[in-house]
Structure 1
Amino acid sequence: MTDFVKSVPAGDVKEASKAMLQKQLYAIFTTPVNGMGPVFETLEEHLAFQVQLEKDGILYSAGPLWTDDEESWEGEGLVVIRADSRAAAIRIAESDPMHKAGAREFRVRPWMINEGTVTVRLDMSSQSFQIV
Protein backbone atom coordinates (compact mmCIF):
# COMPACT_ATOMS: atom_id res chain seq x y z
CA MET A 1 0.00 0.00 0.00
CA THR A 2 1.31 3.38 -0.90
CA ASP A 3 -1.61 5.46 0.39
CA PHE A 4 -2.04 6.26 4.06
CA VAL A 5 -4.84 4.02 5.35
CA LYS A 6 -6.25 4.60 8.83
CA SER A 7 -8.18 1.34 9.13
CA VAL A 8 -9.19 -1.76 7.21
CA PRO A 9 -12.20 -4.05 7.66
CA ALA A 10 -11.72 -6.86 10.19
CA GLY A 11 -12.63 -9.36 7.48
CA ASP A 12 -9.63 -8.25 5.43
CA VAL A 13 -7.32 -8.85 8.39
CA LYS A 14 -8.86 -12.28 8.97
CA GLU A 15 -8.42 -13.16 5.31
CA ALA A 16 -4.80 -12.01 5.31
CA SER A 17 -4.06 -14.09 8.42
CA LYS A 18 -6.28 -17.09 7.68
CA ALA A 19 -3.48 -19.57 8.45
CA MET A 20 -3.24 -18.21 12.01
CA LEU A 21 -5.24 -19.20 15.11
CA GLN A 22 -7.82 -16.37 14.90
CA LYS A 23 -9.15 -16.99 18.42
CA GLN A 24 -11.56 -14.17 19.32
CA LEU A 25 -11.32 -12.91 22.90
CA TYR A 26 -12.23 -9.64 24.62
CA ALA A 27 -9.85 -7.38 26.53
CA ILE A 28 -11.33 -5.34 29.37
CA PHE A 29 -9.18 -2.35 30.31
CA THR A 30 -10.19 -1.13 33.74
CA THR A 31 -9.12 2.12 35.45
CA PRO A 32 -9.84 3.72 38.83
CA VAL A 33 -12.44 6.47 38.99
CA ASN A 34 -11.79 8.01 42.43
CA GLY A 35 -8.32 6.93 43.53
CA MET A 36 -7.12 3.76 45.18
CA GLY A 37 -9.37 3.79 48.27
CA PRO A 38 -12.51 2.48 46.48
CA VAL A 39 -10.36 -0.02 44.55
CA PHE A 40 -9.05 -1.59 47.76
CA GLU A 41 -12.52 -1.48 49.35
CA THR A 42 -13.87 -3.76 46.60
CA LEU A 43 -10.72 -5.76 45.83
CA GLU A 44 -11.73 -8.88 47.75
CA GLU A 45 -15.11 -9.15 46.00
CA HIS A 46 -13.48 -8.36 42.65
CA LEU A 47 -10.95 -11.16 43.06
CA ALA A 48 -13.67 -13.64 44.08
CA PHE A 49 -15.58 -12.62 40.92
CA GLN A 50 -12.46 -13.21 38.82
CA VAL A 51 -11.90 -16.65 40.36
CA GLN A 52 -15.51 -17.58 39.57
CA LEU A 53 -15.03 -16.46 35.95
CA GLU A 54 -11.94 -18.67 35.86
CA LYS A 55 -13.86 -21.67 37.25
CA ASP A 56 -16.63 -21.05 34.70
CA GLY A 57 -14.12 -21.12 31.82
CA ILE A 58 -14.74 -17.47 30.94
CA LEU A 59 -11.52 -15.89 32.21
CA TYR A 60 -8.50 -16.26 29.93
CA SER A 61 -6.13 -14.08 31.98
CA ALA A 62 -6.19 -11.05 34.25
CA GLY A 63 -4.00 -8.91 36.45
CA PRO A 64 -2.78 -5.47 37.42
CA LEU A 65 -1.04 -3.11 35.00
CA TRP A 66 2.06 -1.62 36.66
CA THR A 67 3.29 1.89 35.98
CA ASP A 68 5.78 2.16 33.12
CA ASP A 69 8.73 2.13 35.55
CA GLU A 70 7.37 -1.17 36.99
CA GLU A 71 7.58 0.29 40.50
CA SER A 72 3.95 0.90 41.47
CA TRP A 73 0.29 0.28 40.76
CA GLU A 74 -2.21 3.03 40.06
CA GLY A 75 -5.22 0.70 40.09
CA GLU A 76 -5.37 -0.18 36.40
CA GLY A 77 -6.06 -3.75 35.32
CA LEU A 78 -6.44 -5.91 32.25
CA VAL A 79 -8.96 -8.76 32.08
CA VAL A 80 -9.16 -10.99 29.01
CA ILE A 81 -12.30 -13.11 28.67
CA ARG A 82 -14.04 -15.53 26.39
CA ALA A 83 -17.46 -14.29 25.24
CA ASP A 84 -19.80 -14.72 22.30
CA SER A 85 -19.74 -11.02 21.40
CA ARG A 86 -18.55 -7.60 22.55
CA ALA A 87 -22.03 -6.98 23.99
CA ALA A 88 -21.74 -10.17 26.06
CA ALA A 89 -18.26 -9.12 27.20
CA ILE A 90 -19.65 -5.75 28.30
CA ARG A 91 -22.35 -7.50 30.35
CA ILE A 92 -19.67 -9.58 32.06
CA ALA A 93 -17.57 -6.48 32.80
CA GLU A 94 -20.64 -4.69 34.18
CA SER A 95 -21.10 -7.60 36.62
CA ASP A 96 -17.66 -7.10 38.18
CA PRO A 97 -18.12 -5.81 41.76
CA MET A 98 -15.38 -3.25 41.13
CA HIS A 99 -17.38 -1.74 38.26
CA LYS A 100 -20.77 -2.14 39.98
CA ALA A 101 -19.45 -0.17 42.97
CA GLY A 102 -18.11 2.60 40.73
CA ALA A 103 -14.52 2.06 41.91
CA ARG A 104 -13.29 1.57 38.35
CA GLU A 105 -14.59 2.19 34.85
CA PHE A 106 -13.87 -0.08 31.90
CA ARG A 107 -13.47 -0.27 28.16
CA VAL A 108 -13.93 -3.50 26.17
CA ARG A 109 -11.94 -4.17 23.00
CA PRO A 110 -12.25 -7.26 20.79
CA TRP A 111 -8.87 -9.03 20.56
CA MET A 112 -8.02 -11.74 18.07
CA ILE A 113 -5.14 -14.02 19.05
CA ASN A 114 -3.08 -15.13 16.07
CA GLU A 115 0.37 -15.96 17.43
CA GLY A 116 2.08 -16.93 20.68
CA THR A 117 2.92 -19.87 22.90
CA VAL A 118 1.98 -21.21 26.30
CA THR A 119 4.46 -23.53 27.97
CA VAL A 120 3.54 -25.72 30.93
CA ARG A 121 6.09 -27.89 32.73
CA LEU A 122 4.56 -30.92 34.46
CA ASP A 123 6.75 -32.83 36.93
CA MET A 124 5.00 -36.14 37.48
CA SER A 125 7.14 -37.30 40.40
CA SER A 126 6.20 -34.29 42.52
CA GLN A 127 2.80 -33.82 40.90
CA SER A 128 3.58 -30.16 40.37
CA PHE A 129 3.45 -27.86 37.41
CA GLN A 130 4.85 -24.52 36.39
CA ILE A 131 3.81 -22.11 33.68
CA VAL A 132 7.05 -21.07 32.00
Structure 2
Amino acid sequence: MPAWNDYKSEAKSRGALALELYAVVSTPTGDPALVKENLPDHLAYQAEQESLGTLFLAGPMSDETGAQMQGTGLIIYRTPSLDDARTLADADPMHSSGARSYVLRRWLVNEGSLSLSVGLSTKSVDLG
Protein backbone atom coordinates (compact mmCIF):
# COMPACT_ATOMS: atom_id res chain seq x y z
CA MET A 1 0.00 0.00 0.00
CA PRO A 2 1.42 3.38 -0.94
CA ALA A 3 1.85 6.04 1.72
CA TRP A 4 -0.71 8.89 1.60
CA ASN A 5 1.70 11.51 0.22
CA ASP A 6 2.98 9.09 -2.44
CA TYR A 7 -0.59 8.34 -3.50
CA LYS A 8 -1.44 12.05 -3.61
CA SER A 9 1.68 12.84 -5.68
CA GLU A 10 0.89 10.04 -8.10
CA ALA A 11 -2.69 11.30 -8.52
CA LYS A 12 -1.44 14.81 -9.28
CA SER A 13 1.12 13.48 -11.77
CA ARG A 14 -1.64 11.84 -13.83
CA GLY A 15 -3.63 15.09 -13.91
CA ALA A 16 -6.12 14.43 -11.12
CA LEU A 17 -7.25 17.32 -8.95
CA ALA A 18 -5.86 15.70 -5.77
CA LEU A 19 -7.69 18.12 -3.48
CA GLU A 20 -7.19 16.96 0.09
CA LEU A 21 -10.23 17.40 2.31
CA TYR A 22 -11.17 15.80 5.62
CA ALA A 23 -14.32 13.73 6.18
CA VAL A 24 -15.86 13.39 9.62
CA VAL A 25 -18.50 10.68 10.05
CA SER A 26 -20.35 11.62 13.22
CA THR A 27 -22.65 9.20 15.08
CA PRO A 28 -24.77 9.56 18.21
CA THR A 29 -23.35 7.92 21.33
CA GLY A 30 -26.77 6.80 22.51
CA ASP A 31 -28.63 9.56 24.35
CA PRO A 32 -31.00 11.38 21.94
CA ALA A 33 -31.71 14.04 24.59
CA LEU A 34 -28.01 14.96 24.71
CA VAL A 35 -27.93 15.31 20.91
CA LYS A 36 -31.02 17.53 20.97
CA GLU A 37 -29.59 19.62 23.83
CA ASN A 38 -26.37 20.30 21.89
CA LEU A 39 -28.00 20.94 18.51
CA PRO A 40 -28.23 24.78 18.77
CA ASP A 41 -24.55 25.08 19.77
CA HIS A 42 -23.53 22.56 17.09
CA LEU A 43 -25.38 24.50 14.37
CA ALA A 44 -23.83 27.79 15.56
CA TYR A 45 -20.40 26.14 15.46
CA GLN A 46 -21.05 24.85 11.93
CA ALA A 47 -22.15 28.34 10.81
CA GLU A 48 -18.98 29.82 12.32
CA GLN A 49 -16.78 27.27 10.52
CA GLU A 50 -18.63 27.99 7.28
CA SER A 51 -17.99 31.73 7.65
CA LEU A 52 -14.30 31.03 8.30
CA GLY A 53 -14.07 28.88 5.17
CA THR A 54 -13.14 25.65 6.97
CA LEU A 55 -16.54 23.95 6.59
CA PHE A 56 -16.94 22.69 3.03
CA LEU A 57 -20.12 20.59 3.32
CA ALA A 58 -22.12 19.02 6.13
CA GLY A 59 -25.43 17.29 6.73
CA PRO A 60 -27.27 14.19 7.89
CA MET A 61 -27.09 10.80 6.16
CA SER A 62 -29.71 8.07 5.74
CA ASP A 63 -29.39 4.42 6.66
CA GLU A 64 -28.24 1.91 4.02
CA THR A 65 -31.75 1.62 2.54
CA GLY A 66 -32.06 5.36 2.00
CA ALA A 67 -35.45 5.31 3.69
CA GLN A 68 -34.62 6.18 7.30
CA MET A 69 -32.58 8.89 8.99
CA GLN A 70 -30.37 7.15 11.51
CA GLY A 71 -28.59 10.09 13.08
CA THR A 72 -25.29 9.73 11.23
CA GLY A 73 -23.84 12.96 9.93
CA LEU A 74 -21.10 13.79 7.44
CA ILE A 75 -18.91 16.87 7.83
CA ILE A 76 -16.27 17.80 5.26
CA TYR A 77 -13.56 20.21 6.43
CA ARG A 78 -11.16 22.21 4.28
CA THR A 79 -8.06 22.62 6.47
CA PRO A 80 -4.29 22.53 5.99
CA SER A 81 -3.84 19.20 7.81
CA LEU A 82 -5.46 16.17 9.38
CA ASP A 83 -4.49 17.52 12.81
CA ASP A 84 -6.30 20.80 12.08
CA ALA A 85 -9.41 18.87 11.02
CA ARG A 86 -9.23 16.81 14.22
CA THR A 87 -9.02 20.01 16.28
CA LEU A 88 -12.18 21.30 14.56
CA ALA A 89 -14.03 18.01 15.04
CA ASP A 90 -13.00 17.86 18.72
CA ALA A 91 -14.26 21.42 19.26
CA ASP A 92 -17.69 20.69 17.76
CA PRO A 93 -20.12 20.86 20.72
CA MET A 94 -21.67 17.54 19.66
CA HIS A 95 -18.30 15.83 20.06
CA SER A 96 -16.90 17.79 23.00
CA SER A 97 -20.09 17.13 25.00
CA GLY A 98 -20.00 13.40 24.30
CA ALA A 99 -23.36 13.48 22.49
CA ARG A 100 -21.69 12.13 19.36
CA SER A 101 -18.45 10.38 18.47
CA TYR A 102 -16.67 10.56 15.13
CA VAL A 103 -14.29 8.92 12.72
CA LEU A 104 -11.99 11.24 10.75
CA ARG A 105 -10.55 10.36 7.34
CA ARG A 106 -8.53 12.11 4.69
CA TRP A 107 -10.44 12.40 1.41
CA LEU A 108 -8.61 12.94 -1.85
CA VAL A 109 -11.00 14.49 -4.37
CA ASN A 110 -9.87 13.58 -7.87
CA GLU A 111 -12.88 13.56 -10.18
CA GLY A 112 -16.42 14.89 -10.50
CA SER A 113 -18.22 18.05 -11.40
CA LEU A 114 -20.15 20.79 -9.67
CA SER A 115 -22.80 23.01 -11.23
CA LEU A 116 -23.67 26.37 -9.77
CA SER A 117 -26.23 28.80 -11.13
CA VAL A 118 -26.43 32.33 -9.70
CA GLY A 119 -29.38 34.50 -10.68
CA LEU A 120 -28.22 38.08 -10.23
CA SER A 121 -31.57 39.82 -10.66
CA THR A 122 -33.46 37.17 -8.70
CA LYS A 123 -30.75 36.84 -6.06
CA SER A 124 -31.05 33.07 -6.30
CA VAL A 125 -28.51 30.29 -6.16
CA ASP A 126 -29.00 26.76 -7.45
CA LEU A 127 -26.45 24.09 -6.65
CA GLY A 128 -27.03 21.28 -9.10
Shared fold, TM over 0.5 = yes
1:34 to partner: Cα distance? 1.6
Which residue is 2:89 aligned to? 93
> Which residue of structure 1 aligns with residue 103 of structure 2?
107
Which letter maps to 2:108?
A: M
- Residue of structure 2 equivalent to 1:46: 42
Which consecutive unaligned segments of at least 5 residues does structure 1 have? Answer: 1-6
2:8 is aligned with 1:14: yes
Partner of 1:121: 117
Per the alignment, in what secondary structure is the counterpart of residue 17 of structure 1? helix
Alignment of structure 1 residues 51-70 onto 2, 5 Å:
51-70=47-66
Bigger Cα displacement from structure 2, 112-121 vs 67-76: 67-76
Deviates more, 1:99-108 or 1:29-38: 29-38
Query: What RMSD, in angstroms, separates the aligned Cα atoms of the two structures?
Result: 1.4
Q: Is the 8 A contact 2:8 2:108 kept in 1?
A: no
Identity of aligned residues (%): 34
Taking structure 1 as the reference length, what is the TM-score of the superposition?
A: 0.87
Larger fraction in helix:
2
Give, in whole Å, the separation in 2 of the partners of 1:42 and 1:30.
14
TM-score w.r.t. length of structure 2: 0.90
* Matched position secondary structure for 1:42: helix
The count of residues paired between Structure 1 and Structure 2 equals 126
Please, which runs of 5 or more residues in structure 2 have no aligned partner? none
Partner Cα distance (1:95, 1:21) in 2: 29
**Cα offset for 1:32?**
0.8
Per the alignment, in what secondary structure is the counterpart of residue 117 of structure 1?
coil
Question: How do residues 22-33 of structure 1 correspond to structure 2 at under 5 angstroms?
Answer: 22-33=18-29
The structure that has the greater radius of gyration is 1
Native 8 Å contact 1:36 1:74 kept in 2: no
